[in-house]
């Protein structure tokens, strides 16, 4: 049986048999990414899926027919009042993350929200304030910090193998990969294009590996040259909605941190490059690193040495969701430290916001 075929009733049965303590969780936003969450939760006995919410009736019908959900709603206020879940997964478009999360926190729910945390740093601050006021957990869905390579590099940094981290280069580049589903091309609903949608992943794991220094300034630029026109070139994701496309095709940014380190960022939905790139490289005073393929570069016994792991656990996209959701469940049930709390999402949001503000202003901007 595939993960995606496990229904809500099967979830409940598993929890009774395997978990002494459970988290009754509901989903706000039952689009495609919610099914990745459901597949992951089928492997975590501490979760019991108790309901869902979406503005599209066809998605609610799918939740009922495919996953056995019986408590489905078009308004989250009704879901929160009638189902009273312990926790909420926010899987909506970016523009709805903050209001949905704050409503859930005020209703007494713990919250995990998909990335990016929100649309602006101010929204992130409001979410964190709601979590503190209600004494609830707030987690951001930054699954790539759970990747074995990211964890390896964190351990190396904590062991002092890099010394002072001076420079990190982040790349989340697609040659031709404008999403042809959802609202990814609509700035008013998403906040931006590749920088906030895919760049956020590489930024967050690189910032995590660096030790999460405080960003203080940003410079950058954005260009739209292809997405707002019909395509005449064959591509893996054709026929996107170019008429409503208001985000950037490519964004380039540079962040300066309080400790003097620099982060450069390259993100694109479409760019004239040889192939897609998903990577970050790091340079420190004692050593450097590469995320893909994983490697650490240093000097040893008077020799320049490249170190590569002989074993790292495999972690595909689905497994990363299992890891981040398990951390959420253990944080809620057992107060285990959270790998991606709201404060981490706030820091990353300030980086994203800084690049976009600089692009709009045409010069470097400060980050408070």
Provide the pLDDT for residue 20: 73
Q: What is the tens place of the pLDDT at every residue in 161-220?
A: 999 999 999 999 999 999 999 999 999 999 999 999 999 999 999 999 999 999 999 999
Q: Per residue in 265-279, pLDDT tens?
A: 999 999 999 999 999
Q: pLDDT per residue over 122-155, tens digit each?
A: 999 999 999 999 999 999 999 999 999 999 999 9
Residue 18 pLDDT grade (very low, low, confident, very high; cuts 50, 70, 90): low
CA gap 343, 334 in Å, rounded: 20
Q: How far apart are CA 191 and CA 349, in angstroms?
A: 11
As a whole-number percent, the residues of the chain with pLDDT over 70 amount to 95
> Which is more confidently placed, 20 or 257?
257
pTM: 0.93
Residue 12 pLDDT: 39
Q: pLDDT per residue over 285-341, tens digit each? A: 999 999 999 999 999 999 999 999 999 999 999 999 999 999 999 999 999 999 999
How is domain 145-313+347-366 classified at the architecture level of CATH? 2-Layer Sandwich (3.30)
SS (H, E, C) 244-273: HCCCCCEEEEEEEECCCCEEEEEEECECCC
| Residue-range domain boundaries for the chain | 3-144+320-341, 145-313+347-366
Listed residue (308, 311, 314) closest to 291, CA to CA: 308
Region 69-77 average pLDDT: 97
Residue 79 in tokens: 């879901």
| Rounded Cα gap, residues 359 and 218, in angstroms | 9
Task: Give per-residue pLDDT as tens, 81-120.
Answer: 999 999 999 999 999 999 999 999 999 999 999 999 999 9
Say which CATH topology domain 3-144+320-341 has: Rossmann fold (3.40.50)
Rg of the chain (C-alpha set): 21
pLDDT of residue 9: 37
Question: Do the Cβ atoms of 220 and 356 come closer than 8 Å?
Answer: yes
Q: How far is CA 91 from CA 29, 63, 198, 330, in A?
A: 5, 14, 16, 20
> What sign for the dihedral angle of Cα 52, 54, 60, 62?
negative
pLDDT above 80: residue 10: no
Residue 244: pLDDT band (50, 70, 90) is: very high
Instruction: Specify the pLDDT at position 19.
Output: 61
**pLDDT tens-digit readout, 326-346:** 999 999 999 999 999 999 999
Is the pLDDT at 222 greater than 60? The verdict is yes
């Amino acid at each position: 049986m595939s993960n995606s075929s496990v229904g809500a009733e099967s979830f409940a049965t598993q929890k009774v048999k395997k978990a002494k303590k459970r988290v009754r969780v509901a989903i706000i936003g039952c689009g495609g990414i919610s099914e990745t969450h459901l597949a992951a939760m089928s492997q975590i006995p501490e979760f019991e899926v108790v309901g869902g919410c979406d503005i599209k009736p066809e998605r609610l019908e799918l939740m009922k027919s495919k996953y056995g959900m019986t408590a489905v709603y078009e308004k989250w206020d009704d879901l929160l009042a009638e189902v009273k879940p312990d926790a909420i997964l926010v899987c909506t478009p970016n523009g709805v993350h903050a209001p949905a999360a704050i409503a859930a926190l005020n209703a007494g729910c713990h919250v995990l929200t998909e990335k990016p945390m929100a649309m602006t740093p101010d929204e992130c601050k409001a979410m964190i304030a709601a979590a503190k006021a209600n004494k609830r957990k707030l987690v951001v869905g930054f699954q790539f910090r759970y990747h074995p390579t990211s964890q390896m590099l964190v351990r190396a940094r904590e062991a002092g193998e890099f010394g002072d981290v001076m420079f990190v280069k982040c790349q989340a580049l697609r040659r031709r990969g404008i999403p042809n589903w959802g609202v990814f091309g609509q700035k008013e609903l998403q906040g931006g294009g590749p920088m906030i949608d895919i760049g956020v992943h590489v930024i967050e794991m690189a910032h995590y590996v660096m030790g999460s220094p405080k960003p203080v300034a940003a410079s950058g630029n954005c260009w739209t040259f292809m997405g707002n026109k019909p395509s005449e070139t064959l591509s893996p994701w054709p026929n996107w909605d170019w008429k409503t496309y208001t985000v950037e095709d490519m964004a380039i940014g540079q962040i300066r941190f309080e400790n003097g380190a620099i982060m450069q960022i390259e993100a694109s939905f479409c760019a004239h490059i040889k192939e897609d790139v998903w990577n970050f490289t790091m340079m420190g005073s004692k050593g450097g690193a590469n995320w893909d393929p994983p490697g650490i570069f240093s000097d040893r016994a008077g020799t320049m040495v490249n170190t590569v792991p002989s074993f790292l656990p495999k972690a595909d996209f689905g497994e990363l969701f299992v890891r981040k959701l398990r951390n959420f469940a253990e944080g809620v049930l057992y107060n285990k430290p959270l790998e991606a709390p709201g404060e981490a999402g706030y820091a990353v949001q300030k980086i994203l916001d800084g690049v976009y503000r600089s692009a709009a202003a045409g010069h470097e901007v400060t980050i408070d």
